[in-house]
């Protein structure tokens, strides 16, 4: 089967036929519900601290603090993204090479959740935009080009998986940019991190990232269902097509 024939075959596969396995996908509700409960607990924990309550244990405070990179909520999100990245890697090796890009993206997001890579990158982009002129235009053109490439890439994937990956990208963008746009940036002012607005923003950001990690895992799982319905194609010379 050629690459073009394979793409046509993917489009002809009924999403209903592939996705009629709701029982198998219900396990995704477990990390989602657990994460949302942790979000609520972390929010209440921070609000109590803002009201003057002193935690009985610094270690417990560390793992429940929604603004701490070592919190149990952050590690749950990191682990889910990592699991999704591993799943995409398996798909790249066993089914479609294009899933290497998904694996790399999800792996980067998982690493970012663990060590906070996006903060220096975001500040570097903001400096270029603030500089104006050629630099700002260059950044805008690169962003436009990246957007076009991402859209083309998503169109090459099975539609249910593509929609889920698009939702992942939007949730991550909302967490990284949209939430920050809701109010003043208090990240560099530790003395104001117990203010109500900062707690709300931090909780919203973590909630968006949690939901993105679960949707990413669902996207990989859906693609795995397609891989079972569509045999691994062989291109010219016996090589696996992209």
Query: Is residue 217's pLDDT more than 60?
Result: yes
pLDDT-based confidence at 219, cuts 50/70/90? very high
Cα 15 from Cα 161, distance rounded (Å): 10
Does 233 or 72 have the greater pLDDT score?
Answer: 72
Residue range 44-73: mean pLDDT, rounded:
78
Euclidean distance between CA atoms 27 and 131, whole angstroms: 48
Residue 88 is predicted with a pLDDT of 95
Provide the residue count of the chain: 242
Mean of per-residue pLDDT scores for the chain: 77
Q: What is the pLDDT of residue 47?
A: 82
Which one is predicted more confidently, 239 or 217?
Answer: 217
| Model confidence pLDDT, tens digit, residues 79-115 | 999 999 999 999 999 888 889 999 999 999 999 888 8
Number of Cβ within a 10 Å radius of residue 147: 11
Q: Where are the alpha helices (DSSP H) in the chain?
A: 3-12, 15-18, 22-25, 29-50, 58-64, 72-94, 99-115, 118-131, 133-155, 159-173, 196-229
Q: Which two tokens stand for residue 18?
A: 């592939």
Q: How far apart are CA 216 and CA 222, in angstroms?
A: 10
The count of other CB atoms within 10 Å of the CB of residue 220 is: 25
For residues 129-149, give the mean pLDDT.
67
User: Within a 13 Å sphere around the CA of 126, how many CA atoms are in the beta-carbon half?
Assistant: 8
Most confident of 3-17, 72-86, 165-179, 188-202: 72-86
Q: How confident is the model at residue 75 (pLDDT cuts 50, 70, 90)?
A: very high
Distance, in Å, from the CA atom of 53 to the CA atom of 233, rounded to the nearest integer, reads: 61
The model's pTM: 0.77
**Nearest-angstrom CA–CA distance, 113 and 18:** 32
pLDDT over threshold 50, residue 1 = no
pLDDT at 103: 95
Kindly tell me if the per-residue pLDDT of 119 is higher than 90. Answer: no
Mean of pLDDT values over 118-141: 61
8-57 residue pLDDT tens: 444 444 454 555 545 467 788 899 999 999 999 988 888 887 777 776 67
């Amino acid at each position: 089967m050629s690459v073009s024939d394979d793409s046509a075959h993917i489009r002809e596969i009924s999403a209903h036929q592939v996705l009629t396995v709701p029982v198998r996908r219900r396990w995704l509700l477990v990390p989602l519900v657990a994460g949302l409960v942790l979000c609520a607990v972390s929010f209440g924990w921070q609000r109590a601290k803002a009201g003057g309550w002193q935690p009985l244990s610094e270690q417990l405070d560390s793992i429940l603090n929604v603004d701490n990179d070592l919190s149990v909520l952050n590690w749950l999100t990191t682990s889910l993204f990592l699991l999704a990245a591993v799943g995409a890697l398996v798909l790249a090796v066993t089914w479609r090479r294009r899933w290497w890009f998904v694996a790399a993206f999800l792996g980067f997001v998982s690493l970012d959740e663990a060590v906070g890579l996006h903060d220096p990158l975001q500040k570097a982009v903001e400096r270029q935009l603030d500089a104006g002129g050629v630099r700002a235009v260059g950044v805008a053109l690169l962003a436009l080009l990246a957007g076009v490439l991402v859209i083309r890439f998503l169109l090459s994937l099975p539609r249910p998986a593509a929609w889920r990956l698009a939702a992942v990208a939007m949730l991550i963008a909302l967490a990284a940019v949209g939430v920050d746009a809701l109010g003043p940036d208090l990240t560099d002012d530790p003395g104001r991190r117990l203010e109500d607005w900062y707690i709300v923003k931090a909780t919203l950001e973590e909630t968006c990232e949690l939901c993105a990690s679960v949707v990413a895992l669902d996207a990989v799982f859906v693609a795995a269902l397609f891989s079972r319905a569509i045999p691994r194609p062989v291109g010219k010379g016996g090589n696996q097509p992209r």
